[in-house]
Structures are given as C-alpha cells and as structure tokens.
Structure 1
Amino acid sequence: MRETSIRRTVFWAPLSLFVLLVITSLISPDAFLTVATRLNDWILDIFSNGFTIAAFAFVLTCLWAALSPLGKVKIGGKNATPLLSRWNWMAITLTTTIAIGILFWATAEPIYHLYNPGGLPIEPNSPEAAEFSMVSLYMHWSFTPYAIYTVPSLTFAICYYNLKTPFSLSAPIAALIGRPAPKIGADAIDCLALLALLFGLSASLGAGILTISGGIDRLTSLVSGPVLTGCVALAIVGAFFLSSASGLHKGIRVLSDINTRMFLALMVFALIAGPTWEILSLGGRSFVEYIKEFVPRSLTLAPFDNDPWLKSWTVFNFANWMAWAPLAALFLGKISRGYTVREYILVNLVLPALFSVIWMTIFGGLALNIELGSPNLLNNILERLGPERILYGVLDYLPFATALAGFVVVISFLSYVTAADSSLDVISNLTTKDDAVSDRPAQAEKRAKPRKTDLALKLIWALVVGFAAWIMTTLSGIEGVKMLSNLGGLPALFILIMFNVTLLILGTVKLKDVKI
C-alpha cells in the first residue's frame, strides 16, 4: 500500500488561519475578544431560532430512526463484524463526547442559574430556582446535545460503511447526488469543520489546564502560573499524542475504559457521602419538570423565551455542541461498524444521556444543596476564581476532600486526553487522502505500526493546539478561544441539517438502491 499523502488545502488552510488568529489574540487580546464577542452575538441574534429548532428536529429524527425499518440496518452490511465490544464502544463514546466539561460545569452552571433563573418570576437562591437550575442542566447536557452528535455520526457511519463514500464530511452530499462531491465543496466543508474543532480543542484544553493546575496548586506548594500551566499543557499534549499514535485498540480503548470506571467511582462516592436523599429528591422533581418542559424549552415557547438568558445559555450551548458535532461524527461513525442503527442510537444517545442526567443530578444537586444551606459560598468562588474551581469547593463538603481533589486532577487529565485522542485521530485522517480506502478494510486495523505521515500530522496538530491553549490561558485569557469555538456552530448548523436530510432519505429508500 502506498504511503499516505496530505490533502494540502484541508491541512494548510485551517492551520494557517488558526495560527494567524492565535497570533492576533496575542498581539491585541482586547480587540480580538471584542470582535469575537460581537460576531458571536450577531450569530446568536440572527440564528437563535435555527439552532433550537434544528436541535429539536435532531431529537425527533433519532426517535424516528430507532422506530423505523432503518433501525434494523447493520452498519457495514449483514456480514460486518464489530470493531469494539459493547462496553468499549460505550466507554469510548461516553468519554470522547463528555471531555472535561462536566467535571466543572455540573457544579458551576447551576450556581449561575440559581441566582438568575432565566428571567422567570422565581426568587433567586430558592428551592424553585434550584429546580430551574437542574432542569436547565438536563436541557443543556443530556438528550438534546447527544442527539446533535447522533444524527451526523449515524449518517456518516451508514454512508461510509454501507455506501462506501470517502472519509469526509461531504459523505451525505455524495449519498444525495449519487456521485462523489466536487473536490472544492468537500474541501471547504472539511476545512470549516476542522477549524471549528481546533478552537474547540484549544478552549477545552485551556479549561483542562486551569482545572489541573488549580488542583496542583491546592495540593502542593507549587504556584499556578505560566511555568506550571506550561508543564501541564506539555504533559497533556504528550499523553494524547502517544495515546492517539498507539491506535484505537490500545490508547483510546484503554484510556476510555479507565476514565469511565473513575467517573462511575466518583459519582457513586459523591452520592453516598453527600446528602443522598436531598440530591435524589431534587433530581427526581427536576427530571419530572424536565419532561414536562422539554417541548416548550426546546422550541423556546413562553415562558422560556427570555432572549438574554436564552441566547447566553441554551442557544450558546446548542451552537457549541453543533460546532463539535461534524468532526465528532467522523470518529463516532468510524468506530460503529458491526452494530445496528438501533444499537447505535442506544449507545450514542440513550446511554450517555442517561449517564449525564445521573452525573448532573448528583454533582449539580450537591452544589445546589450546599449553596442553599450557605448562600453565596460557592457563588463567591465562582466570581473570584472562575467555574473551574467550583468543583474543588464542593469536594470540601465530602469526606477525604484532599484525596478527592487529587482524584479529580487525575480524572481531569484523563478526560481531556481521551477526548483529544479521538479528535487527533480524526484530524489526521481528514487531512490525508487515502483513509477512505485504508481505514475501511479489516486488515487496516491490524497494521503493526502507524504510518509515518499519520504520526507526523498528529504531532503537528498536538503541538499547535497545546501551544495555543497555553498562550491563551497564560497571556490573554481563554474567553476569545471559547467564543471562536462557538462561532463554528453557524457553518456546522447547515452541515448538520444536510446530514439530517440525508438520513431521512436513506431511511425511506433501500440502501442497495442508492448508487455512489
């Protein structure tokens, strides 16, 4: 087999623009953040209804796909064998989509909502505000977000394995028009999605650096600063490069297994050691309200149509999930061979969403109970130190707080490494020309060593993302990168709608009748 060659446009265009924007943010961070914020506000003002309606449509599409005859279709064909066991498949899906976000948003986001309950006539820091906070957590972190991931990844899996389309986000175009998409169109779609992912990776790595360095600062005599954050960034970058270079069945599989078990252990301990009844009671009441409010919240009907809060939270979150979804779809679709569409929806939507509901119930409920009992305790931490430090404040109310803080540092490290591992794999595949051929056959899985070009590309992307995250966190702040990662939600919105239409069409015709 010939050596891999690089898709020059898909490699150089996103890389050059990304580096240019990072340098710009370094030279003039205030101006950079101002422009990024204005662009983000404009997108949310103009397309807010588009984001929410599309997200709701993705939920309905997943339900339809599971119940329709399409649900019986096996990804890869009748004789396809699974790449992964069900447990490993679920663990990889869970950890590569959760990343590091839930470790601090589960405790930080409800504190925001507790004092600003969406413009509703609810008294701040009250039991009613606590329920509003929990329902908002479920809305932003469970079934709808995972539907945003499931629709494009399922569509890509069917196109790639069953219809033999190239390894590109142009796969649904090829399925719709019956022939490979024009090169310029395929390259443009892949470039936009890759640029959005680069900013997303940098933003989440920046949050990971702050979380881990803050934990080290707390546990040791080391002071959080440029040197410590640089060492943390280097350690994370080295770990996810080595993991990704070792392949799916070594690095990603092993790390995701360990990461999932640690998540479960922390979750169980927090539930037992914390105010168990209060957590479960608040979670139970809130989940019932979530079910009642799902449709009006999804479609932003009254009274859930408060523009400032809605755009700052619900629309912003959906747009951010959409920014990540196209590239995540390539990885999630690629590892799904050998399972049916119904099994795919179970593992990629239902199970991770339920896990997220339980996680948010426990840690969001714990944070809210602490704040209701001691008003402004966690809110002061949030305002002074940022959302990444709230979790450590919550852990102080549990037994073995110092040991738990160390445990969280390890989980934070593994969480980002696991998620970045999969993203690095997709970026490498997307920027090379022959992955559509080499990654499909079973013998490709048995390659003894990764190809030199793959390793070189992964090293380049790992160093670029790591350096950008370190620069932004130590010199100019991470807010600009967060805004830019969210800007990718606009082009992603149209890409995902295209995937959704393709899936609906594939579900109404026989796959063998679709010619590529």
Structure 2
Amino acid sequence: MGTEEKTVKTVDLKLRKGVFFPPWILLAAMVVVSLTNGDAFLAGLNAVTSWVLDNFAWAFNLTALGSVITVIVIWFSPLGKVRIGGSKARPMMKYMDLVWITLCTIIAAGILFWACAEPMYHLYTPAVAAGVESGSADAAVFAMETMYLEWTITPCAIYVIATLTFAFVYYNMNQSFSLGSALVPAFGVKAKKFGGIVDVICLFSLVAGMAASIGTSVMSIGGGVESVFGIESGPASWLVIAALIMITFIISSVSGIMNGIRILSSLNAKVYFVFLIIIFLFGPTAYMLNVSVESLGAFLKDFVHLNLMNGAVHGDSWAKSWPVFYWCNWLAWTPITGVFLGKILRGYTVRDAIKCNFVIPAAFSMIWIALFSSASLYYEFSGQGLNETMLESGPESVVYSVFSQLPLSVIIAVFYVFIIFISIVTGSDTNTNAMAGLCTHGITPDQEEAPSWLKIVWGVTLGAVTYILIAFAGIDGIKAASNLGGFPNMFLVLIMIFGLLKISVNPKKYDVHKEDYDSNGRPIESPRLPVEEKEEG
C-alpha cells in the first residue's frame, strides 16, 4: 500500500515550465555565444562583473557581516529553541549523517583547490591596506588571516541564513517548495506571486556559481593527473574529467538523498580527516601550529575590518578580487543550497541546525586552513618554489608540490585526486537535487524527490557550462561567473535576513505548530523523536 501511494504522488509531479525554461534557455544561449565568439563572451562577462564590483562591493561586505551577526542573534533568540517541523516531526536521518552531508555540501572541493595555492597570491600581492611587505613574514600572517576570512565563519553564516529561512518557511509555515516562499516572512503571503521569478534568478545564479566551483575542481584533478601520470592538464583532459564528474553526480542525485548522497557524503568527510592526519603527522607540524595560532589571533582581532575591506580608500583592487569575489561565490550557491540543506533539517531544532551548518563546518575549515595553508607557506619559505610552480603550471599544481615534500607523495597525490572527485560530486549532486525540486510542482514533505529526468537535464547542463567556462575563459572566467551569479542573490539574502530577524522576535506568530509554545509565546522544549527510518522499520 505504501509503495502504491508513493507511486501516485510521483505521477502527480509536474514540471514548472515557467521556472525551468527561462534559466535553462539563457544558459544554453551563453554556451552557444561562448563557443562562437569566446573573446567577446569573456569580455562581456568581465564588463558586467566589473560594474557589479565597482558599485556594490560595499553591499556584498555588509551582507556578509550581517549574516554573521544574524546567526548569533538567532542562536540566543526564542527561535533557537524551535523544532523544525514541530514537536512531532521525526528527523529524516541521524544527526551525524546530517553533519556529513552538510559539511560536504558547504565545503565542496573549493577548499581543496585553494588552501595551498591562494596563500601564494596573498604572500606576494597583499592588500595595500594591510601595510605589509610582499614576501615578508607579516605578509604570511596576512595570507593566513585572509584564508580564515574567506573559508570559515563568514561563508558558513551566509549559508545558514538561506538554510534556516527555507526550513522554517517550508516546515513551520507550510509554504510551498519554492525560494519565493522565503519572501513571505518579510513581505507577507502576497509576495509569493514573485516566487517563480525568484526561483528563475536563483537557478541561473547557482549554475554560474557551481560552474565556477566545478571548474576549479576539474582543473585541480587535471593538475593531479599531470603530476602523477604525466598527462597534460588542458582542455582535452578537462573534457574527460568533467564528463566523469557529471555522470557520477547525476547517478548519485537520481538515487536520492538517503542513498547516493548520504553514502558519498559520509565517505567524503571521513577521507577529509585522513588527509588532515597525514599533513599533521608528516608536515612541518610545529611551524603549522605556531603560524596558524598566531594568525588566528590576528584574524579575530581584525575580523570586522577584514569583512568590510573593499580597497576604495587605497584604490586597490585586491579586495574585489578576493574576499568580495568569495562573497559573490557563496551568495551564488546559498539560496538553492539552502533549499537542500533546509529540506533535510526536519525534526531538529534551529540551534541544532546552526551547529550543523555553522559551528562544525567553520571549525573544520579553520583546521584545514591552519594545516594546509601554513604548510604551503613553510615550503615556500624553505625554497621549494611553490609560487614559481604556480606561475608556470597554474594554481592547481601547488598542492601537489606540497605533497611532493611528504613521504609516499605519489600515493597521497592519487588519493587526493580521488577526494577532489568525490567532493565535487557530493556538492554537485545535492544542488542538482534541489534544482530539480524547484522546477517541479508537487514537492511536499512526503514526496521529497523530483523526477530523475529533470536531475539528468540539469546535470548535463552544469557539465556543459563548466567545460565551456574553463576551456575558453580559465580562472578569469571562473571568477567572473561567480560574481555574476552572486549579485542578484545578495538582495534575496538581505530579504531573508530581515525575515529571520522578524521571526526570531516572536516565532509563535509565524509557526503553524501553535501547540509547541507556552502561554507567553516561548518555545516548549520537546525531546527529539526517533529517526524516521527507524520508526518505519
């Protein structure tokens, strides 16, 4: 009977044509233009993103810092105790499975690519506002501060805003499975009429942002293949790698959250920790610990200043090329990523969600940066020529230069290529799952999965856009695509911040589960129910 009921619900699912076709056609047009006139495509992309950064860098900075402040406010507000889906909601999965999926979705493979290469940029071309000499010890501390800034507290906070907004609106306000529903807390139910437009914009933005992230992973795997097997890293090898990634994450996404995505995330996260142990035991341990701790102190001291830096006073483009670029990238990902992460939070409290989506990923990233980024600085100062390698062979080659200093370097490099592959597959299949869901009418808490064919279409589209981007535009194209994707989403995140703050003052006013509050409107503590899988078993 249960199987028959699910079959009926699946048949009732319908394509939201007004949401699917506009971004898909626009992306297809971009691919055609880039193939027919690549130089004009890149020039146009750079012109648009330069205008965005010149005029709105300050807004990106305020959105990023505002996200951090909002997460802290929510933790201490009455909203922090609210259970997503109400006191009777059962979790979809164990908390650690939730942690693994969240960690791999947020981190993806970007940190693997940039943790060793990016410090070289900041070491030799630091921000003018930092007032440090290029290549100096002070520049090394600044490089570490920047890595902490771009990969830990702030990006995780940005993700939490979209995740909590969607989770509460979907499960506690009984709104439809659409990013347009995120407008309701701020502007009321009438704002839902703009829901389709919001979904279209976010779908386009995510594909641009994901293409940038997948592109860096393809290039990183290409560098590993060249390092280990001598096969040149270039458009030919990138095509094969991109195709393999695309096929794998489509298969994982089609298999559903509780199968492919959960299994891959658990494997991926555990491999991350293996690499942390390897670099800690066989790298320059004392140097890594000393530099990372000192730099962490500098980062915490300068936290607000770093978050708001945009280079306008000194006429310096550094901030727009790095931290503001990252805010654009995170913002490109966050709305639709928040849909997926919010969907799997049912049965957990808002504070559980903040720990899972903010505290744990930020702490993990901090440890990763502390070890890998400081190790790359150590080997550069030791005369291993990491910066020279980067200039000659690209940023994807730097991490393999670091591995060459460790015992069993070839085995470690092969293992690393594997983890990059699994990481980007994990991050991509979760978002493909959410993208297909937004294009489907009829998604409910009981019918959670979109049609498989729709996941395949978006997966192939992502693969095509990614390859075109890296083959014809390279790193410059990757950065431009991220900036383009993050701009419209910035306004949506600001609306989400406003909505969350309204909810946090009086969650009972917005929550349909009125029995979960006492007479004073305070959330009633309720025990967590068993995981849904166990109950059904």
Q: TM-score interval w.r.t. the shorter chain?
A: over 0.9
Residue 41 of structure 1 and its aligned partner are, at CA, apart by 1.3
Mean alpha-carbon deviation: is it higher for 350-359 or for 301-310? Answer: 301-310
1:478 to partner: Cα distance: 5.5
Larger deviation, residues 81-90 vs 417-426:
81-90
Quick one: distance in 2 between partners of 1:57 and 1:202? 27
Distance (Å, rounded) in 2 between the aligned partners of 1:404 and 1:203: 26
Query: What residue is the counterpart of 1:506 in the other structure?
Result: 503
Aligned residue among 76, 86, 97 for 2:95: 86
Aligned-pair distance for 1:219?
A: 2.1
1:163 and 2:173 equivalent?
yes
TM-score using structure 1 length: 0.93
Confirm or deny that 1:412 pairs with 2:420.
yes
Supply the RMSD in Å over aligned alpha carbons. 2.0
- Does the C-alpha gap of structure 1 residues 509 and 455 become closer, same or farther in structure 2, counting only changes over 3 Å? same
Structure 2 counterpart of 1:92, one-letter code: I
SS in 1 for 2:317: helix
1:250 corresponding residue in structure 2: 259
Q: What residue number does 1:70 align with?
A: 79
* 1:178 and 1:515 in contact (8 A); partners too: no
1:395 equivalent in structure 2: 403
Residue aligned with 2:461, SS: helix
2:534 maps to: none
CA distance, structure 1, for counterparts of residue 416 and residue 98 of structure 2: 24
> 1:228 Cα deviation (Å)?
3.0
> Is residue 203–residue 485 contact of structure 1 (8 Å, CA) maintained in 2?
yes
Which residues in structure 2 correspond to 1:268-417 (within 5 Å)?
Answer: 268-300=277-309, 307-374=316-383, 377-417=385-425
Does structure 2 conserve the Cα–Cα contact (< 8 Å) formed by 1:70 and 1:507? yes
CA distance in 2, matches of 1:232, 1:515: 47
1:450-461 equivalent positions in 2, closer than 5 A: 454-461=451-458
Q: Kindly indicate whether the alpha-carbon contact (under 8 Å) linking 1:173 and 1:180 is maintained by their aligned counterparts in 2.
A: no
Structure 1 residues 303 and 372 mapped into 2: Cα distance closer, same or farther (>3 Å)? Answer: farther
Shift of residue 150 of structure 1?
Answer: 0.5
Mapped contact 1:145–1:321 kept (Cα < 8 A) = yes
Q: Is residue 479 of structure 2 the alignment partner of residue 469 of structure 1?
A: no
Q: Quick one: distance in 2 between partners of 1:368 and 1:513?
A: 50
Pairwise CA distance, 1:5: 0.8
CA–CA distance in structure 1, aligned partners of residues 311 and 240 of structure 2: 49
Query: 2:483 maps to which residue?
Result: 486
Aligned to 2:436: 428
User: For the residues of structure 2 that align with 1:172 and 1:48, how far apart are their CA atoms?
Assistant: 24
Give, in angstroms, the shift of residue 325 of structure 1: 0.9
Contact 1:168 1:186 survives alignment (8 Å): yes
**AA of the residue aligned to 2:134:** P
Q: Evaluate the alpha carbon distance shift between residue 161 and residue 13 of structure 1 in structure 2; reply closer, same or farther with a 3 A threshold.
A: same
Partner AA of 1:396 in structure 2: S
1:213 paired residue number: 222
- Pair 1:127-2:114 in alignment: no
2:183–2:192 CA contact under 8 A, matched in 1: no
CA contact 1:296–1:302 (8 Å) conserved in 2: no
Please report how far the alpha carbon of residue 16 of structure 1 lies from its aligned counterpart in structure 2 after TM superposition.
0.5
Is 1:102 aligned to 2:99, yes or no?
no
2:120 alignment partner AA:
I
Match of 2:50 in 1: 41
Q: CA deviation at 1:221?
A: 5.1
Q: Which consecutive residues of structure 2, in runs of 5 or more, have no partner in the other structure? A: 1-8, 514-537
State the 1:224 CA deviation. 3.8
- Shift of residue 29 of structure 1? 1.4
Q: What letter is aligned with 1:52? A: N
Q: Distance in 1 between matches of 2:65 and 2:191?
A: 28
1:50 has 2:59 as partner: yes
Aligned-pair distance for 1:306? 6.0
Q: Percent identity among equivalent residues?
A: 37
Aligned residue number for residue 25 of structure 1: 34
Deviations 1:363-416 (A, max 9, x none): 0000001111217x1111211221111111111111111001100110011001
Hey, what does 2:205 align to over in structure 1?
196
Which secondary structure does the structure 1 equivalent of 2:169 belong to?
helix
Corresponding residue to 1:138 among 148, 156, 166: 148
Moved more, 231-240 or 12-21: 231-240
Whether the 8 Å CA contact 1:93–1:348 is kept in 2: the answer is: yes
SS at match of 2:380: helix
Instruction: Report the more deviating stretch, 475-484 or 128-137.
Output: 475-484
Mean CA deviation greater in 199-208 or 494-503: 199-208
Moved more, 225-234 or 386-395: 225-234
* Cα drift, residue 263 of structure 1: 0.5
Q: SS where residue 143 of structure 2 aligns?
A: helix
Distance in 2, Cα, partners of 1:204 & 1:263: 18
| 1:179-226 deviation per Cα after TM superposition (whole angstroms, max 9, x unaligned) | 26343x111111111001112222222222222222223322544444
Secondary structure class of the residue paired with 1:507: helix
The structure 2 residue matched to 1:262, chosen from 266, 271, 283, is 271
Shift of 1:90: 0.8
CA distance in 2, matches of 1:342, 1:162: 15
Q: Compared with structure 1, are the counterparts of its residues 474 and 36 closer, same or farther at alpha carbon in structure 2 (3 Å cutoff)?
A: closer
> Structure 1 residues 122, 87: closer, same or farther in 2, change over 3 A?
same
Q: Which amino acid aligns with 2:183?
A: I
In structure 2, distance between residues paired with 1:216 and 1:423: 27
Alpha-carbon distance between aligned partners in 1 of 2:479 and 2:487, rounded to the nearest angstrom: 14
Question: In the aligned structure 2, how far is the partner of 1:67 from the partner of 1:282?
Answer: 33
> 1:365–1:306: structure 2 CA closer, same or farther, 3 Å change rule?
farther
Letter in 2 for 1:153: T
Instruction: Give the gaps of 5 or more residues in structure 1.
Output: none
Separation in structure 2 between the aligned mates of residue 433 and residue 122 of structure 1, nearest angstrom: 55
Q: Who is 2:120 aligned against? A: 111
| Matched-pair contact (CA < 8 Å) for 2:325–2:482 | no
How many residues of Structure 1 are paired with residues of Structure 2 in the alignment?
Answer: 503
